[in-house]
A and B are shown apart, each in its own frame.
Chain A
Amino acid sequence: MTRAEISKAIVSILDEIVPDEDWASLTPEADLRGKLESMDFLDVIMELRKRYSVEVPEADYGQFATLKGCVDYLEPKLTDQ
Chain B
Amino acid sequence: MNKTDQERIVITGVGLTAPNGNNLTEFRQNLLNGISGVEDYNIRYFGDTYAGLCHFDPLKYQRKKEVRIGTRAGSISIYCVHEALADAGLTLDTIDKSRTGVYVGITEHGNVETENEIFEISKYNYQTKFWSHHHNPRTVANNPAGEVTINTGICGPHYTIGAACAAGNLGCVNGAQQILLGEVDFALAGGVSESPGTFGIFAAFSSQNALAHGMTAKTVSRPFDKKRNGIVVSEGGAMFLMERLDHAKARGAHIYGELTGWFCNSDATDMVLPNSERQIQCMNGALKRAGLTPQDIDLVSTHATGTPAGDVKECEALRAVFLDCPNTYFNNTKSFIGHCMGAAGALEIAANMPSFKDKVIHPTINVEELDPKCELPNLVCNKPKKIAKVDHFLNNAFGMLGINCVTIVTRYVP
Residues of chain A touching chain B, judged by Cβ–Cβ distance below 8 Å, are 17-20, 39-40, 42-43, 46, 49-50
- On chain B, the residues within 8 Å of A42 by CB distance are 133
CB pairs A–B below 8 angstroms (10 shown): A17-B68, A19-B68, A20-B63, A20-B64, A20-B65, A39-B133, A40-B65, A43-B134, A46-B132, A49-B130
Minimum C-beta distance from B131 to chain A (A): 9
List B residues 109-161 near A (Cβ within 8 Å): 124, 129-130, 132-134
Q: In the assembled complex, which residues on chain A have CB atoms less than 8 Å from the CB atom of B129?
A: 49
B53-72 vs A, CB cutoff 8 Å, 1 = contact: the mask equals 00000000001110011000
CB neighbours of A19 from chain B (8 A):
64-65, 68
CA distance A20 to B63 in the complex (A): 7
Verify A18–B130 contact, CB threshold 8 A: no
Q: Determine how close the nearest CB of chain B comes to the CB of A51; give it in whole angstroms.
A: 11
Closest to B129 in A: A49
For A38, give the chain B residue with the smallest CB separation: B133
Q: Are A46 and B133 in contact (CB under 8 A)?
A: yes
A39 to B138, CA, bound (A): 13
| Complex interface: chain A residues within 8 A of B69 (CB) | 39
- A18–B67 alpha-carbon span in the complex (Å): 10
Q: How far apart are the CA atoms of A50 and B131 in the complex, in Å? A: 11
- Chain B residues whose CB sits within 8 angstroms of the CB of A39 once the complex forms: 69, 133-134
Q: Which residues of B contact A (CB under 8 A)?
A: 63-65, 68-69, 124, 129-130, 132-134
What is the CA–CA distance of A49 and B128 in the complex, to the nearest angstrom?
12
B62: nearest residue on chain A (CB-CB)? A20
User: Can you name the residue of chain A whose Cβ is closest to the Cβ of B65?
Assistant: A18
- Quick one: closest A residue to B124, CB to CB? A50
- State the CA gap A13–B67 with chains docked (Å): 17
B65 and A17 contact, CB distance less than 8 A: yes
CA distance A5 to B64 in the complex (A): 26
Which residues from A are CB-within-8-Å of B124?
Answer: 50
| Candidate in B65, B68, B130, B133 with the most chain A CB atoms within 10 angstroms | B65
Q: Please list the 4 inter-chain residue pairs (A to B) with the smallest Cβ-Cβ separation, ordered nearest first.
A: A19-B64, A20-B63, A42-B133, A18-B65
Q: How far is the CB of A22 from chain B (nearest CB, A)?
A: 13
**Residues in A whose Cβ lies below 8 Å from that of B63:** 20
Query: In the assembly, what is the distance between CA of A3 and CA of B65, in Å?
Result: 27
Q: Contact at A46–B64, with CB atoms within 8 Å?
A: no
* A residues near B68, Cβ cutoff 8 Å: 17, 19
For the A-B complex with A39-B133, A49-B129 known, give 20 more contacts whose Cβ atoms are closer than 8 Å: A17-B65, A17-B68, A18-B65, A19-B64, A19-B65, A19-B68, A20-B63, A20-B64, A20-B65, A39-B69, A39-B134, A42-B133, A43-B133, A43-B134, A46-B130, A46-B132, A46-B133, A49-B130, A50-B124, A50-B130
**Complex Cα–Cα for A40 and B64 (A):** 13
Nearest CB of chain B from residue A32's CB, rounded to whole Å: 16
CA distance A70 to B129 in the complex (A): 21
Q: State how many angstroms separate the Cβ of B216 from the closest Cβ of chain A.
A: 38
What residues of chain A lie closer than 8 Å to B130, measured between beta carbons?
A: 46, 49-50
In the complex, which residues of chain A have a beta carbon less than 8 angstroms from the beta carbon of B132? 46
C-alpha spacing A18/B124, complex, angstroms: 24
A50–B69 alpha-carbon span in the complex (Å): 17
Bound form: Cα–Cα A20–B65 in Å? 7
Nearest-neighbor residue (CB-CB) of B137 within chain A: A39
Chain A residues with Cβ below 8 Å from B64 are 19-20
Instruction: Select from chain B the residue with minimum beta-carbon distance to A55.
Output: B129
| Docked complex Cα distance between A17 and B65 (Å) | 7
Q: How far is the CA of A20 from the CA of B69 in the complex (A)?
A: 13
Residues of B within 8 A of A50 (CB): 124, 130
Bound CA span A39–B133, Å: 8
* Interfacial chain A residues near B133, Cβ < 8 Å: 39, 42-43, 46
Q: In whole Å, how far is B75's beta carbon from the nearest beta carbon of chain A?
A: 15
CB of A8, distance to nearest CB on chain B (Å): 21
Determine how close the nearest CB of chain A comes to the CB of B215; give it in whole angstroms: 40
Inter-chain CA distance A2–B273, complex, in Å, is 64
Q: How far is the CA of A69 from the CA of B64 in the complex (A)?
A: 27
Complexed CA–CA distance, A18 and B64 (Å): 7
A20-B130 Cα distance, complex, nearest whole Å: 24
Min Cβ gap A3→B in Å is 27
